Amino acid sequence: MSYMPPTDAMFLWAESREHPMHVGGLQLFVPPEDLGPDFVTNMVDEWREQDYVNPLYRKRPAEPVGTLGNTWWSYDEGIDFDYHVRHSALPQPRRVRELLALTSRWHGALLDRHRPLWEAHVVEGLADGRLAMYTKVHHSLVDGVNALRITQRSLSEDPDNRECLPPWAMPPRKRSTEIATVPKSRNPFGLVKAVGAAGSNTLSLIPGGLRVASQIVKDADLSLPSAPRTILNGRVGGARRFAAQSWEIDRIKRVAKSSGTTINDVVLAMVSGALRDYLSEMGALPDEPMSAMVPVSLALRSGGDDNGGGGNAVGAIVVNLATDRPDGATRLEEIAYSSRSNKRLLSSLSPTQILAYSAMQMFPLMLGPIPGAIKFGRPPFNVIVSNVPGPRNEMYFNGAKLDGLYPVSIVMDGQALNITLCSRGKYLDFGLIGCRKSVPHLQRLLTHLESALAELELSWG
Amino acid sequence: MSYMPPTDAMFLWAESREHPMHVGGLQLFVPPEDLGPDFVTNMVDEWREQDYVNPLYRKRPAEPVGTLGNTWWSYDEGIDFDYHVRHSALPQPRRVRELLALTSRWHGALLDRHRPLWEAHVVEGLADGRLAMYTKVHHSLVDGVNALRITQRSLSEDPDNRECLPPWAMPPRKRSTEIATVPKSRNPFGLVKAVGAAGSNTLSLIPGGLRVASQIVKDADLSLPSAPRTILNGRVGGARRFAAQSWEIDRIKRVAKSSGTTINDVVLAMVSGALRDYLSEMGALPDEPMSAMVPVSLALRSGGDDNGGGGNAVGAIVVNLATDRPDGATRLEEIAYSSRSNKRLLSSLSPTQILAYSAMQMFPLMLGPIPGAIKFGRPPFNVIVSNVPGPRNEMYFNGAKLDGLYPVSIVMDGQALNITLCSRGKYLDFGLIGCRKSVPHLQRLLTHLESALAELELSWG
């Protein structure tokens, strides 16, 4: 057994049937040409016969589950691989649509706390011949960025490499990916862990850490944001809907270059245009501009006051999405302006101030699952848009070419929609996860994202 | 909104991620010969386009969920059929084994309380051409017997009838199946509801009803049973394993007739032999004989003291399974003796006494999900074996012949295995549901059930 820090345990405490706290990923593969009919079955069988299992994939909360016993981790010796590694198939007509429906169901189901907190679902039989894999891992074990990093480690740049191991069969790296390190993680939830870790090991978020964070924010004279209420910012149910699509990075880059903005600005402008169209169709667009919370990586001032030097840090900024503006080009301008100002503000802070400020913005989310804690006044922002780094080159798993790497993140009370994207070679893979009840027809956002990009291309393509 | 009696609400209160409180059923069908390639897809599409929805399938707990708000039901108007009616496929090699694995996963997942509390999963693609359907409904809505009755109503004896409707599209019968009526239900959990309903409407189980029940049992000088501890009687986790198989009723009848016992006795002797073999293999067979709780239907004395006449009543008896006896024939004798004595005792009681006695036997199960409420001393019995009446004749759904009707019941702390069987024409369909962790290799029980029957046939076949 090992001690579970409160910054891990909070994801177990906060979890309920309405608020599963796992992060997922959906990968698509084009199988090698020499694929036999039993390729998937054999792979699943092999995957279930691993002698060595990485400690991360053996970790579960010590019993009794659900009480203060959660503050200890235990490590299972025997793994019930038939349970964790699941072989599935798609119903007719076996399109991506059926795959997304299945992913939605899987992501809405809680992990069993009596076992190590992960599942892998191998899916055979897309009509176009592709294979898919959906994985989920509890957020108390790993954040989204590190989950993706582990996935990438299991892949190879060499199409002829047939020695690839599934993530659970790989030994940890020297610098273990199990521990979310402050400067590396760009996942918004990682921030909350980070505040706990910053300063000293005894500074925890619950409740002392937050008090410290609140004081730091006050001392630095920072104001916390607020956004209009929308259908995206109420209570959520337990069911999910997932949508995913890839866009060529070059299209986005061209717009960014001609308009003098960044790739992230253009992505936010796509999101802004899509949300505007989506909410307008339902007569639910607020008069005030909506905003997005965006985790960012920052180059720090050298000689920082508490880290003893420059380097990188992670923060969260809230960007004005300008959804009140009917013109796409104007929205992009306002987004770029808001994003620059916020980054400037953040880069003037010390790493500890950045973490505290970012965590305070996140804080209402953490209270979400606690009944009565949130009165649902104005949310701090309307949507989370997160961009996580994926592989730069073509990647393969035992000859199968990676053809999609879609993050499946977390929604919670007050934030019923999360858009997380991942770069993959020439593509940006968008993963949209929403509460099935409060975000109806989520898949329409995909069409609207494309329309918003096309509109920007008319001005700056 | 309508008031939710505590006898319904208790199934919501008692539910947790380790203790899902829904009942399920797995049906197999042989499709008609004129089956087109889109038979299943078309059927699912049709099923999702129902204008009329039976109120039972529109019921959900009023919000806020999970608090005292649970004491009201509300009825949804718009049903998200894409969510409730799910189209699935089996992975290679698409045997019954893959179907059971899928059923195990589905049955371990909680229903979403923000929606009407049911799901239907249509499964295409068993390698032998058969189709399957798994349905689940929350126990607060309906008990296992009534769930089965609703299923049967959707079937037809006429293979040429193409007008069959799915259960949710059928109007309620005059005497609504929504309300579990005391004399009709043979489901053990129905008993607990029944005690609440017996006597007067204000007699509820929590906590007054139980006090009354306890007094009745005391007054009648009845003693409550106790059984040895086994691996079947500890805490359960959230994951399940389901196994199912059909046996010809004629084989069981022949043994019952030659041995002068009943079909239920022979079934219990099969269970006894199977448990003995299964636990022996693991070195986990207790020295003392194990026992089974069996819901029974009884002919009442005429002129009963509180129902004003004879009729039928339902009770639960605890039968000695004689697992300490190495010989199958001896076990059957002891089971038949124990069963007769217990039924005689029960039939000497008034309906209210029967209900009270039966409910008191069940009571420790109801406390199971409450942390700390059970110390796991001696359980009242080791396993629940329930026999529910199914169709007498061959049944069809739009030309597809019913080829299996396996109940999928509930396991809980202290009762990690439940065996429920259903008669169907010439067959008895056994459904075994177990906690995946505490009942390893559950499927071996199927082989042992067959061996136990074969052993009995050697003496009395």
Question: The domain that contains B432 carries what CATH number?
Answer: 3.30.559.30
Residue B397 lies in a domain: no
Token digits of residue B355: 């209900």
> Is B437 within a domain?
yes
Find the chain A residues whose C-beta atoms sit closer than 8 A to any C-beta of B: 16-18, 37-38, 40-41, 64-67, 80, 82-83, 86-94, 98, 101, 105, 108-110, 112-115, 124-125, 237-239, 371, 436-437
Last residue in a domain, options B166, B188, B210 = B188
- Domain span holding position A11: 2-188
* Phi, psi torsion values for B41, nearest 5 degrees: -60, -45
B437/A114 Cβ within 8 A: yes
Provide the residue count of chain A. Answer: 461
Cα distance between residue A149 and residue B177, in whole Å: 53
DSSP-derived secondary structure for A157-207: S-TT------GGGSPPPSS-TTS--TTT---HHHHHHHHHHSS-TT--III
- Domain assignment present for residue A206? The answer is no
Task: Please report residues of B whose CB lies closer than 8 A to that of A17.
Answer: 17, 110, 112-113
Query: In terms of domains, do A70 and A163 share one?
Result: yes
CA distances, B206 to each of B7, B19, B198, B209 (Å): 8, 19, 14, 6
Choose among B252, B256, B216, B290: nearest CA to B453: B252
A139 as an active site residue: the answer is yes
On whether residue B407 sits in a domain, the answer given is: no
Decide if B395 is inside a domain: no
- Same domain membership, residue A164 and residue A64: yes
Taking an 8 Å cut-off on Cβ atoms, the answer to whether B115 and A90 are in contact is no
Determine the distance from the C-alpha atom of residue A363 to the mean position of all C-alpha atoms in its chain, rounded to a whole number: 17
Q: Are residues A237 and A166 in the same domain?
A: no
Q: What is the CATH number of the domain that holds B17?
A: 3.30.559.10
Domain C-terminal end among B173, B188, B203: B188
Instruction: Assess whether A377 and A323 both reside in one domain.
Output: yes
Q: Which residue of A has its CA nearest to B440?
A: A80
Q: Is residue A215 part of a domain?
A: no
Strands B59-61, B72-75: pairing is: antiparallel
Q: Å from B39 to nearest chain A CA?
A: 10
List, in sequence order, the alpha helices (H) in B64-208.
81-84, 96-108, 144-153, 188-197
Q: Is the Cβ pair A40, B114 closer than 8 Å? A: no
Is the domain of A178 the same as that of A230? no
Give pTM, 2 decimals: 0.85
Q: Are residues B226 and B184 in the same domain?
A: no
CA closest to A19 among chain B residues: B112
Compute the nearest-CA separation of A238 from chain B (Å): 6
Task: Tell me: do B343 and B242 sit in the same domain.
Answer: yes
Same domain, A236 and A382: yes
pLDDT (tens digit per residue) in A39-74: 888 889 999 988 899 999 999 888 655 555 456 888
Is B416 in the same domain as B273? yes
Instruction: Give me the pLDDT at residue A212, please.
Output: 62
Among B138, B164, B188, the domain-final residue is B188
Q: How far apart are CA B285 and CA A85, in angstroms?
A: 31
Chain A neighbors of B86, CB-CB under 8 A: 105
Quick check: A401 and A417 in contact, CB under 8 A? no
Q: Residue B400, Cα to own-chain centre: how many angstroms?
A: 25
User: Measuring CA to CA, how many Å separate A52 from each of A14, A40, A47, A117, A169?
Assistant: 32, 21, 11, 17, 6
Verify that B437 and B315 share a domain, yes or no.
yes
Are the CB atoms for B403 and B30 separated by under 8 Å? Answer: yes
**How does pLDDT run along chain B (461 residues), one tens digit per residue?**
777 776 677 778 778 888 888 999 999 999 988 777 788 888 899 999 888 999 999 998 886 555 554 568 889 988 999 999 999 999 999 999 999 999 999 999 999 888 999 999 999 989 999 999 999 999 888 877 777 888 888 999 999 998 999 999 988 876 544 433 333 344 445 554 544 444 333 333 344 555 666 666 667 666 667 899 999 998 888 899 999 999 999 999 999 999 999 999 999 999 999 999 999 999 999 999 999 999 877 655 444 334 334 455 567 888 999 999 999 999 999 999 999 998 888 777 777 777 676 666 665 555 555 545 455 568 889 999 999 889 999 999 999 999 999 999 999 888 999 999 999 999 999 999 999 999 999 999 999 999 999 999 999 87
Shortest CA distance to A319 belongs to which of A299, A342, A302, A298?
A342
Inter-chain CB proximity A83 and B436 less than 8 Å: yes
Q: Which residues of B are known catalytic residues?
A: 139
Flag whether B406 is in a domain.
Answer: no
Residues B308 and B445 grouped into a single domain:
yes
Contact B90/A93, CB-based, under 8 Å? no
Domain count for chain B, please give it: 2
Beta-carbon contacts of B80 under 8 Å, excluding residues fewer than 6 positions away, are A436, A437, B115
Same domain, residue pair B376 and B449: yes
What residue of B is the nearest CA neighbor of A41?
A: B92
Query: So what's the pLDDT on residue B181?
Result: 36
Q: Report yes or no on A208 lying in a domain.
A: no
CB pairs under 8 A between A and B: 101
Of the residues B12, B43, B65, the best mutation for testing chain A's interface (the one with the most A CB atoms within 10 Å of its CB) is B65
Residue of B nearest to A436 (CA): B83
